[in-house]
Amino acid sequence: MYPFKDIEKKWNKKWSEIELFSTPKEPKYKYYIMEMWPYTSGDIHMGHFRNYSFGDLRWRWEKMMGKDLLHPFGWDAFGLPAEEAAIGENLNPKEWTYNNIKNAKKTIEKLGLSYDWGREVATCDPQYYKWTQWLLIQLFKEGLLYRATDYVNWCPSCKTGLANEQVIGGLCWRCDSKVGKRKLEQWFVRTTDYAEELLQGIETLKEWPPNIKEMQRNWIGKNEGATIRFKMEDGSKFEVFTTRPDTIYGLTFICFSPESEISEKIAKENKEVKQYIDNALLLSNIDRIRVDREKTGVDTQLKTIHPLTGDKIPVFIADFVLGSYGTGIIMGVPAHDQRDFEFAKKFNLPIRQVIKGENQTEENGAYEGHGVMINSREYNGMNSEEFSREITQFLENEKLGYKSINYRLKDWLIGRQRYWGAPIPMIHCEKCGIVPVPEEELPVLLPPPDEVDFIPKARSPLADHHGFMETTCPECGGRALRDPDTADTFVDSAWYHLRYLDPMNNEKIFDGEEAEKWLPVDLYIGGAEHATGHLIYMRFITRFLKKLGYCNVKEPVVRLFNQGMVRDENGEVMSKSKGNAVDPHQLIEEVGVDAARLAMLFFGPPDSDIDWKEENIRGSTRFLNRVYENFYEKAKRKDIELDENDRKKPLYKAIERTTKKVTDDIKRFSYNTAIAALMEVLNEISNYKDNDDKLYQYIIRRFTILLAPFAPHIAEEIYSKYGYNNSIFLEKWPEYDPQGLKEERFTLIVQVNGKVRAKIDAKKGIDKEESLKIALANENVKNFLKDTPKKVIYIPNKLINLVE
């Protein structure tokens, strides 16, 4: 076993001393790399190690390619992940968080990763959340941060509201509890004002994974249609959005969502309705809209008037109608919507077909396609799509509706009824209303945790801290109260790519000149699970600050790369809670950083989930031992001039092919195949006998440079044996010799029973088996060969004779 502990300790220290990873002040060829930062709910695990290794490899390669790099690191330290973990350990969140940061940083430093620690940030540091609060004030001033009473997603375990993006499969993103609904006065960010430009901006994200872009398109969810005005029998009015105004004559019922204001009013006078709504709000949206779930609802006994026919239409409340879509009300068209069809069957409601499809067959269900209008009065026989346009215009002319666009994206709920977060910098004054804290008074500091009962209790813990709550109004000077809520952790991470630019600035969120130098982020590495949450918020905040003139780009990230997860040998995703996680500390202690890192890079494609296999760890260890044994004592000559004869040798051609292969594979993130190429060429190098030969010295020096991004410590150690004083990462990445890629060819003469039947161009050095395969594939040879050859005579690089 090579002395990996001594080598890794030596080079980690050396890199720190020479400030190898520090960011240049004036980049000429900039490259900005980020990995999604960790929650501070524990130490670094193997998933982090793999993720950070991808970024580190890229840093080292781009450095050798001549780039000026920014590669910062920080801690997503506020919010539910850290707070819940702290409570579980019976510690206060601040103590828990800072201990975890200290321990995790030690681990990362031991890994020798290429971070500029001079730019380290943590969201729980007052100097960071001062600017989170400043950002919220700017949103408020621009009318994008507002307070409203609405039904919000509510986690009964975490006892706080959740954004739509934090409800995954009907469960809380942190604790997997079933999420219901609760009506709260809450803080929202008006992301819907940016819905269209966020949608259009997706088309500019040329280097983002297609699946992420599609997920964002679907989440923003643009739907074009019509909003139709209805009147109740008592004269009250409401509006319904539909993407299919062509089905209006097929309307036979109206359904309100349990969250709608009209439902609430009805519930006050109808106990049956109230009970139904209460039960519905206990369910998650996912449960409510499940396709296989039996439709439920309650008849309000009220009627609305059909805007075109004047018919009285029954009004129901049904939980499959969501308050978050459209106006929270649907017009039931059972002949042309399957959910409506099932509901109508359940409640014995009329089913009126108004569109006849060209190839429509009689089925027990709704016809949801287009076709020809029927049962639609004077519009019978008209194409349904044409009718859709015409009826929308008619509704507009008669002031019964209008053409409209609806987005699935909803405003971002950011208020949390928890302690561990950035206090929302607003003051409530009875006289002046909601007033932002003066910017010169930022940050609004969290009270010390020993002064707050931060155990969740369904209301903001800060509300009980009189010293925090009681203040004066900045406008009138009267008595006022601070807002007791804290901001969601995703507010903190929506702008961290910008704070990294200028983390020590006390006067500005960041300097515009730094933004000009470094934005956008060239490579962002992280999980696909953030597609419809963090990545949308990050894009939104960047666009918002661009409009205010603070930064120079609309889109924050050029290239997004989604890494896969690490699974155990049974295919289960590794996690501490499941007890199947491999401890990075133990692994590093046993085999070293380079071997562990190389194994993870070799397990499979970086964007795929990988299964943890002990034999891969052993294989990486054997490989690095062979590298050390073959090269360390033999690295002698650094100034080498090869002659023409050297360049004709197979080993020279092998290393040039490997150089091209590794370079191409790094470019396309195919790290596992690059390592495979290095392993393959090592076998050829190991068989070369003349260790003092200048070609051999050239080969092992080139191999060491190619290995460096993958196994940096051992590469540095071998490189230093040549007598170099600088780091190997200050070397220029080698360019392959195109001449070295050319294969030497020869004309293979093929005889059948001693007579020449073909002359075939072939690669020099092929063996008898390969020559036979080539010969038997030739059509002319097939014509003269009647049976399987009984004897094969082979002269290498010249002739093959097939004897029957």
- pLDDT number for residue 62: 99
Which tokens sit at 668? 């396309």
- pLDDT number for residue 141: 98
Q: Is the peptide bond before 650 cis (omega within 30 degrees of 0)?
A: no
Q: What are phi and psi of 617, to 5 degrees?
A: -65, -45
Do residues 273 and 263 lie in contact, with contact meaning Cβ atoms separated by under 8 Å?
yes
Do residues 658 and 706 lie in contact, with contact meaning Cβ atoms separated by under 8 Å?
yes
Q: State the DSSP code for 207.
A: B
CA torsion, ordered 84, 90, 96, 100, to nearest 10 deg: -80
- pLDDT number for residue 700: 92
| 3-class SS of residue 545 | helix
Residue with tokens 């080139």: 702
Alpha-carbon distances of 78 from 39, 313, 397, 469, rounded to whole Å: 8, 51, 53, 20
Hey, what CATH topology would domain 745-803 get?
Answer: Ubiquitin-like (UB roll) (3.10.20)
- pLDDT number for residue 362: 56
- pLDDT number for residue 361: 61
- pLDDT number for residue 576: 59
Low-confidence residues of the chain: pLDDT under 50: none
Q: How many residues does the chain have?
A: 804
| One CATH from 3.30.460.10, 3.90.740.10, 1.10.3720.10, 3.40.50.10300 for 222-407 | 3.90.740.10
Do residues 559 and 208 lie in contact, with contact meaning Cβ atoms separated by under 8 Å?
yes
Do residues 240 and 227 lie in contact, with contact meaning Cβ atoms separated by under 8 Å?
yes
Q: Is the peptide bond before 520 cis (omega within 30 degrees of 0)?
A: yes
CA gap 37, 72 in Å, rounded: 10
Look at residues 785, 789, 786 and name the one whose alpha carbon lies nearest to residue 758.
785
CA gap 397, 623 in Å, rounded: 77
CA gap 345, 297 in Å, rounded: 12
- pLDDT number for residue 197: 98
Q: What is the pLDDT of residues 578-605, one digit of tens each?
A: 667 778 888 999 999 999 999 999 988 9
CA gap 583, 565 in Å, rounded: 15
- pLDDT number for residue 90: 87
Q: Is 113 exposed, middle or buried (0-12, 13-18, 19+ CB in 10 A)?
A: buried
CA gap 338, 348 in Å, rounded: 15
- pTM, two decimals, is 0.88
Do residues 132 and 123 lie in contact, with contact meaning Cβ atoms separated by under 8 Å?
yes
Please state whether beta strands 610-611 and 566-567 pair in parallel, antiparallel, or not at all (unpaired): parallel
- Give yes or no on whether 617-741 and 745-803 have one common fold: no
- pLDDT number for residue 614: 79
Name the residue ranges covered by the structural domains of the chain: 4-132+494-578, 142-190+416-489, 222-407, 617-741, 745-803
CA 157 to chain CA centroid, Å, is 26
Look at residues 194, 234, 188, 237 and name the one whose alpha carbon lies nearest to residue 216.
194
- pLDDT number for residue 440: 97
Alpha carbons within 13 A on the beta-carbon side of 1 = 14
Burial 385-394 (b: 16+ CB within 10 A, else e): eebbeebbee
Element (DSSP H or E) covering residue 514? helix 512-518
Element (DSSP H or E) covering residue 53? helix 46-64
Do residues 255 and 330 lie in contact, with contact meaning Cβ atoms separated by under 8 Å?
yes
Do residues 772 and 778 lie in contact, with contact meaning Cβ atoms separated by under 8 Å?
no
CATH 3.40.50.620 fits 4-132+494-578, yes or no: yes
CA gap 11, 716 in Å, rounded: 7
**Architecture of the domain made up of 617-741:** Orthogonal Bundle (1.10)
CA 24 to chain CA centroid, Å, is 28
User: How many Å is the Cα radius of gyration of the chain?
Assistant: 34
CA 22-519-407 angle, to 5 degrees, is: 135
